[in-house]
Structure 1
């Protein structure tokens, strides 16, 4: 397997934010040559060796600050009032990216882009641990070909090692992109190896390695800088003499100039990380009894009443009492079921409620799914956790195996001996034995005689080969080492422990590797994760030093399949990417604590939605940026207050988020309605508890079975009509695109001129030696900023047509036609800032290209259809039943799963209206391809023949019918869907399918009639 990478808009935005900080820097400036210190050698050739260091920042401090403020304004980030300078360097830039969103990829891409734009070529990536160091090095390896295809060059990279200093020679003398990866222990520890970087070394021509490094004026990238803020570490950074520092983290402890933010809330809302589900285990006592009970779950079926899976104590014939899982129905007597154990007298099942997930007994006792009661100790809780983790693993594996996605489960433990106990013969600890017992039991349940690829896969893996432990390893005994016992674990010990998860990530993701369950003690450190961790189970006591967010973060990355492709398509991303956390506490307690952890990282978000916050913010549109005036800010504030979307303290209310989820937000007043999407994005940037990521209670997930309504001839006729896969083509006249693009560029293309700053000063009288040594013996008395008037073509060669053609995917001739027709004054801007001209031209042409594409879209159906077994499967994927409602009359499943209050009301009408024969909430696997992403309609409805002469298909149920209230992308998808169904009706004949957007059932009936 080879991991594949694709261009992501949010990652490109983070890179662009870094690049834009240096607007005004002479583009493509070659790296500055310098004489390499030859050391104490007499080799005359060595005296002639040249190195290539990073050119200085030529942009003035004032311009740098203006650039940063402009970047911050575009993202509505807090404005910096000054450059965040320190003793290390004058420029420190913060890039905030949530765990699992690919920050390593982003800073590697930034390296290539800074080299392409400005010629900088010396970079040092500093990490706080060996685990992260190995992960970064692995990322550099697996992205090598990806970036070669994009930038047509490779970076030379290496891990700093004081015993392999020849790498430093290449770092200095090579003119290409050079990247050194170094962990802080290599220059900030007390060990002999760490001190070597500051010593004159005989094997390094009597030079100090640090002097060779600092001569390159490297750009330093700090990965997880909050882990490297000790006084000694910060002092050590000054020795590197960095040009500037880029700091990447999800949780910055110290704020500098923040130029990009993708926090936990952004990542979840944009579906860039997995959705979280929780299986909590609540222990509660029953007054006056020690009857052990654990309600594992409630099953529903097509034609039988609900069945509960209940664990209780059962007496065997030999007198032994064991815990056993049994299925019970209404009327089951637990006294009889337990073979006469007295503690279960009076426990007769009186009700099993599949909607609320509660079982009730005749003695008044109630038990919710996930609750354990009676005589419970820690061992019982851990066994339940392990069992639940294995069950969750199999549920996900059965669903994802055919999609080529390997499922991994990660256990956190607090003592290695609980997994590997070298004092016993088989060396298996308590948890290893429990795991194997529960694994074999659950494997028997999911195994079948069918000869399917999945069943063959299961049978090919021996139970003791499918789990493994990743801990520190004693290199002499080759045994696992507990960090809390014996010698103190050092970073060096961890190198072997992380091999499979970090160095052999592709192997771990392959079905050929039997390991599927991982037990780990040290896995909470940053850098220890894997995209296919789908289940996390903490078999340990709560540790206040490690947040739940750190634990969950190990499994947030989006999954990849056997081809190395990331599963990130918007229509299915959260259907596949669902992380299950098996907690040793109740669902509500765990979620509350986790959300508290997440909320603590969102401190940079504003809390108050008042006029002063909205005033001056930017609404970024396709037609340019619109500044929110005081009048517009007042309108936003009044809108929120009028509809009770804010409370008395001007905090965003639950009512706002509820209305947003249901699609029933009130229409914005003029002129705000022209910028509805941007205004709501601005409102969403204000923090509120209600906006925190929702986390499903996985105890409320069941299999939703299909019923006989699916087989009704009316629905089959409807389904056969719409079950068509299609491709779209776009045929448009390039002259039209040229005309529109030319007009648009003349109107919108405005570049910033390059400028330079002249500083005049004089030497300070009686300057001290310290001032002279530090470069502070001169005082600036005057500064002057002027535009760069000359053409830059003499210094740099640009392929203007090629660059724009590459960025717009148009022919060079088409680009040439656009540029030829530009106004002379507009085109003249190219000579003053070519890079900005090219970047803006690409953006503006692409906007016009998208408009033309939608206008000239045409669909053609293909012979391939959606597979009924995949779309309307008999055993549909496990579904969240928190919004489930029984549908005995007309729906094709036993339950309808709605997304909002609007859909609830819609279903109420569909269920009772006699004109409706049958309807379906279309599964997400059914979609229509469009240029702006695949589109999944909501409903398919068949009406009585005597009411209408056609079958009616509803695309969406929206709270508002105004097109201004729908996002631009949604409108585009709806326009495309209309063309798709027009094509179907023309091509297939028969009863036509009518397609539209409706607000409620009454608007639907109006359209039908």
Structure 2
């Protein structure tokens, strides 16, 4: 695949901010100069090189092309910078900032959030500066090999894109002291030339690093730095905050730069800031992924070592169950295994009698708040672990949760052609790969990963032959993960990287082949690698747009901020065609980064928000009149400066509506009102500039602005989409969401008679059975055979019926049990039992449990048929809230989900092949505007239990007779094939909809899309 690039307005804005600083500078095609040819050659002089006077002829001068000097005056340059700052409402620079270390007088700062394409921006800036002013010599200085390789890769993959835009290609290379011929071309070529160099190549003390300052025999006795400085290059510093040592800064002066432009998300030292796109801007403009966190909380239990980890709560059609990892005694020892727990489960029994679980009986499982409670008072929330949670247990939990998060995202995104990647940061190679005399073997984390991957794969894999299942089956677990570390050139083994004193940078080149150089291949479904293990030192400088899960399997390190950890996955994803998934309507539904943290959600988010807040320190904190005065409002008709009068109006507006507090800080009330689109109306004078005024207010920092960081365990992975808001669906919903009460009047004698007849004809109780086995002891049986139970051989067996009365200590209340199961009175039940055949009733004593169960079913069926004729519904004032569409917990298994265009959710979960076929045809129909599979909590009360219809459908007006339809899908239309209770519920539903919607909504049962269209047309 090939990554595609398009012109993004926000990136063009950043490029123009730099280029506009030099308005007034004339364009020059490049100033030629004589390149230092180096030492003279002492080779014999050829005859043709002797002039007429017999003197040696001078060698032709080799021409170079350096950047033209700046012509605009210092005053004009400062004015340009202030104009650029003013239009972005940045603080105005009072002077042109000079760097005392480098001596450079032009120092410009561009702030761009990680993942928004700052590398793309400064590459495009080179083309723009060349187009406007003719400058052509650029040097990108980076703090590490990782960033250097990333920049070089960006130059490669954007070459054709910029050729289309500027009709030029740049010549670029990585500085290497042993490949100095590139410097010759850098100087002599008149086109755009870019040198990429890491700071260690000229600011370190090693012999190889000193070569740039030495006269070299293999470079005609010249110093490489002299050749470079003659070009008056423009320096672009990538991540300058990592290159702020005094000696490093001083070494920049050796390049004799025309100017220095610094690009970073977190500038430590600021000069003249000409552009800002910070974390808030990037998030609010949907230029980066949304972040969610899957935290793991470790809680201590006093006096016990009962290990428990609550992974999640599963909602089924019955009662919820908890997926819990616990210890179980097995023949081979105690092992930690995953178990599904239901109410009243006793962990002491399930564990095989481990004492630490005494008293752990499940009291309650609450799926609404993801909580598991035990009778001993212990309570766990999903993601919490208690007991003996050592580091090994924590790492296994993290890997398991990362695998689960990966599959959940992959199930959703595979059909969209988006490959999901997961990234594990570890602190030593041995945890991933080990070596001994026998060769190579998986490390601890690799082994755990393969175990957890296979376990989860077994859970999610279905027998259906779907494209996603075929994709999974084609990948072996050993193929789908890989480690990206340094490689020892002698042993060819993976090794820990060589890091600097602060253990934050690596100088190893060979760790980056697939994650950097072959980025496109890693994004393709043809490449089986989906899980990346990498060293925690490899942070800045490389990322991949399709990293959706990040897990840090390393010891806590305060030198690495949360922003650095999540930064590797913030870039918006691409599909198999290389298209960026940046549609504003769906960008954060698709682009959500999950961070699996080894701490609680609260702790991780707190630290991350602290990092983000600190990075926003340059933002104003107070919304005062003085702040607003003089700011620029950019309107379609031109820029408008905020006068003192307008500034006072803005200030009073905020004060009057409680949008600022006593300290002139923006309040939560403002942000909530804006989110709900309920902001108070602006004064008349401000209304023509409403959009720009609110943008100006938003530029003032407040805590309520912080990017929303979701709890991944509670995230709705199948959210409502814009179809839900369509007027057709809202109209349909308003017609069917009324609740109603029912009344039934019928004769008891009629019901008793029908029940007696049904019981006499159909009640057949299964008698108790027992099995008799006969066998004999084997000859020459050993002690082990005796111990294992294999010393006897079964010769024959027979099954016998026990037709006598069952004597049990259980006292059955036959009438009471039947009354409870059928919701009839005790007297009605007594009348039924009194009249049934004696032989039928005598079955009760042979199997009471079976008698009660079957008699209840038959009575309920007769009750259902008897009452339908007499039921009447009356609407009540209460309605079903639309919140039921978001309140129910979504399913995790997307392998069976259908990705829909007209449904109110992105995906439809079907319960049968009949439903699946129905949905496929429904979604493809041009007559259908919108439809919904109704949530379980939307039900119609009936005397035989609540009834939940399947579908609500709105059709195109004018194309069908019935615009609104509520449908129930069944495999057979024959009433003989429907159970009596089911048929009764459907009959009740007909009466319900006829009463509450009149003829506006049609309800019926269909066996497919064809029958549906028959009915509506």
TM over 0.5: yes
The CA deviation string for residues 715-739 of structure 1, in whole angstroms up to 9 with x for no partner, is: 79979xxxxxxxxxxxxxxxxxxxx
Structure 1 residue aligned with 2:10: 10
Deviation of 1:950 after TM superposition, in Å, equals 7.7
- Work out the CA distance in 1 between the residues paired with 2:686 and 2:506: 59
Structure 2 residue aligned with 1:91: 106
Deviation of 1:350 after TM superposition, in Å, equals 2.6
Residue number among 275, 278, 284 corresponding to 1:263 in the alignment: 278
Is 1:115 the counterpart of 2:114 in the alignment? no
Is 1:459 the counterpart of 2:494 in the alignment? no
Is 1:874 the counterpart of 2:888 in the alignment? no
Q: Do the aligned partners of 2:497 and 2:506 also contact (CA within 8 Å) in 1?
A: no
Residues 1:895 and 1:60: Cα distance change in structure 2 (over 3 Å):
farther
Aligned residue pairs total 756
- Work out the CA distance in 1 between the residues paired with 2:353 and 2:622: 62
Residues 1:300 and 1:919: Cα distance change in structure 2 (over 3 Å):
same
Q: Do the aligned partners of 1:299 and 1:702 also contact (CA within 8 Å) in 2?
A: no
Residue number among 631, 636, 639 corresponding to 2:650 in the alignment: 636
Q: Do the aligned partners of 2:34 and 2:64 also contact (CA within 8 Å) in 1?
A: yes
Q: Do the aligned partners of 1:223 and 1:248 also contact (CA within 8 Å) in 2?
A: yes
Larger mean Cα displacement after TM superposition, 375-384 or 281-290: 281-290
Is 1:435 the counterpart of 2:434 in the alignment? no
- Work out the CA distance in 2 between the residues paired with 1:7 and 1:945: 57
Residue number among 383, 397, 419 corresponding to 2:396 in the alignment: 383
What is the SS of the residue equivalent to 2:97?
A: coil
What is the SS of the residue equivalent to 1:21?
A: helix
Structure 2 residue aligned with 1:25: 25
Is 1:650 the counterpart of 2:664 in the alignment? yes
Structure 1 residue aligned with 2:314: 299
Structure 2 residue aligned with 1:364: 377
Is 1:205 the counterpart of 2:220 in the alignment? yes
Q: Do the aligned partners of 2:233 and 2:256 also contact (CA within 8 Å) in 1?
A: yes
Is 1:249 the counterpart of 2:248 in the alignment? no
The CA deviation string for residues 420-462 of structure 1, in whole angstroms up to 9 with x for no partner, is: 2224855222111111111111111111222222212212221
Structure 1 residue aligned with 2:592: 578
Is 1:418 the counterpart of 2:418 in the alignment? no
Is 1:127 the counterpart of 2:126 in the alignment? no
Q: Do the aligned partners of 1:294 and 1:312 also contact (CA within 8 Å) in 2?
A: yes
The CA deviation string for residues 326-357 of structure 1, in whole angstroms up to 9 with x for no partner, is: 22233333333323333333333232222211
Is 1:448 the counterpart of 2:462 in the alignment? yes
- Work out the CA distance in 2 between the residues paired with 1:949 and 1:669: 48
The CA deviation string for residues 60-80 of structure 1, in whole angstroms up to 9 with x for no partner, is: 111111111111111111110
- Work out the CA distance in 2 between the residues paired with 1:250 and 1:392: 28
Residues 1:921 and 1:296: Cα distance change in structure 2 (over 3 Å):
farther
Deviation of 1:869 after TM superposition, in Å, equals 11
Deviation of 1:485 after TM superposition, in Å, equals 10
- Work out the CA distance in 2 between the residues paired with 1:677 and 1:149: 34
Q: Do the aligned partners of 2:361 and 2:374 also contact (CA within 8 Å) in 1?
A: yes
Q: Do the aligned partners of 1:501 and 1:530 also contact (CA within 8 Å) in 2?
A: yes
Deviation of 1:702 after TM superposition, in Å, equals 5.7
Residues 1:484 and 1:139: Cα distance change in structure 2 (over 3 Å):
closer
The CA deviation string for residues 608-627 of structure 1, in whole angstroms up to 9 with x for no partner, is: 11111111111111121122
The CA deviation string for residues 165-186 of structure 1, in whole angstroms up to 9 with x for no partner, is: 2211211111111111111122
Alignment of 1:492-507 (within 5 A): 494-507=508-521
Structure 2 residue aligned with 1:588: 602
The CA deviation string for residues 280-336 of structure 1, in whole angstroms up to 9 with x for no partner, is: 0001023343222211111224x33322212222223x2732222122233333333
Residues 1:538 and 1:424: Cα distance change in structure 2 (over 3 Å):
farther
Is 1:323 the counterpart of 2:358 in the alignment? no
Structure 2 residue aligned with 1:282: 297
- Work out the CA distance in 2 between the residues paired with 1:58 and 1:124: 21
Alignment of 1:851-890 (within 5 A): 866=901, 871-874=906-909
Alignment of 1:486-885 (within 5 A): 494-701=508-715, 866=901, 871-874=906-909
Structure 2 residue aligned with 1:35: 34
Q: Do the aligned partners of 1:467 and 1:517 also contact (CA within 8 Å) in 2?
A: yes
Residue number among 375, 400, 405 corresponding to 1:392 in the alignment: 405
Unaligned runs of 5+ in 2: 42-48, 50-56, 734-898, 912-930, 939-948, 957-963, 967-992, 1002-1012
Deviation of 1:206 after TM superposition, in Å, equals 2.4
Larger mean Cα displacement after TM superposition, 595-604 or 410-419: 410-419
What is the SS of the residue equivalent to 2:661?
A: coil
Residues 1:154 and 1:622: Cα distance change in structure 2 (over 3 Å):
same
Structure whose CA Rg is larger: 2
Is 1:472 the counterpart of 2:483 in the alignment? no
Deviation of 1:247 after TM superposition, in Å, equals 0.7
Residues 1:716 and 1:258: Cα distance change in structure 2 (over 3 Å):
closer
Structure 1 residue aligned with 2:935: 894
What is the SS of the residue equivalent to 2:291?
A: strand
What is the SS of the residue equivalent to 1:239?
A: helix
Q: Do the aligned partners of 1:705 and 1:874 also contact (CA within 8 Å) in 2?
A: no
- Work out the CA distance in 2 between the residues paired with 1:644 and 1:75: 27
Structure 2 residue aligned with 1:238: 253
Is 1:144 the counterpart of 2:155 in the alignment? no
Is 1:77 the counterpart of 2:90 in the alignment? yes
Residues 1:46 and 1:372: Cα distance change in structure 2 (over 3 Å):
farther
Q: Do the aligned partners of 2:545 and 2:572 also contact (CA within 8 Å) in 1?
A: yes
Q: Do the aligned partners of 1:96 and 1:252 also contact (CA within 8 Å) in 2?
A: yes
Deviation of 1:921 after TM superposition, in Å, equals 13
- Work out the CA distance in 1 between the residues paired with 2:1000 and 2:202: 76
Larger mean Cα displacement after TM superposition, 222-231 or 194-203: 194-203
- Work out the CA distance in 1 between the residues paired with 2:483 and 2:165: 39
What is the SS of the residue equivalent to 2:442?
A: coil
Alignment of 1:40-79 (within 5 A): 40-41=39-40, 46-79=59-92
Unaligned runs of 5+ in 1: 720-863, 877-889, 898-916, 927-939, 952-987, 992-1009
Deviation of 1:489 after TM superposition, in Å, equals 9.4
Residues 1:629 and 1:705: Cα distance change in structure 2 (over 3 Å):
closer
Q: Do the aligned partners of 2:146 and 2:506 also contact (CA within 8 Å) in 1?
A: no
Structure 2 residue aligned with 1:884: none
What is the SS of the residue equivalent to 1:427?
A: strand
Q: Do the aligned partners of 1:483 and 1:489 also contact (CA within 8 Å) in 2?
A: no
- Work out the CA distance in 2 between the residues paired with 1:169 and 1:896: 75
Q: Do the aligned partners of 1:704 and 1:895 also contact (CA within 8 Å) in 2?
A: no
Deviation of 1:692 after TM superposition, in Å, equals 0.9
Q: Do the aligned partners of 1:472 and 1:489 also contact (CA within 8 Å) in 2?
A: no
Q: Do the aligned partners of 2:421 and 2:530 also contact (CA within 8 Å) in 1?
A: yes
- Work out the CA distance in 1 between the residues paired with 2:935 and 2:298: 32
The CA deviation string for residues 796-828 of structure 1, in whole angstroms up to 9 with x for no partner, is: xxxxxxxxxxxxxxxxxxxxxxxxxxxxxxxxx
Larger mean Cα displacement after TM superposition, 63-72 or 47-56: 47-56
- Work out the CA distance in 2 between the residues paired with 1:198 and 1:941: 81
Structure 2 residue aligned with 1:937: none
Residues 1:489 and 1:611: Cα distance change in structure 2 (over 3 Å):
closer
Larger mean Cα displacement after TM superposition, 605-614 or 421-430: 421-430
Deviation of 1:919 after TM superposition, in Å, equals 11
TM-score (norm 1): 0.70
- Work out the CA distance in 2 between the residues paired with 1:23 and 1:919: 63
Structure 1 residue aligned with 2:942: none
TM-score (norm 2): 0.70
What is the SS of the residue equivalent to 2:385?
A: strand
The CA deviation string for residues 766-802 of structure 1, in whole angstroms up to 9 with x for no partner, is: xxxxxxxxxxxxxxxxxxxxxxxxxxxxxxxxxxxxx
- Work out the CA distance in 1 between the residues paired with 2:433 and 2:504: 20
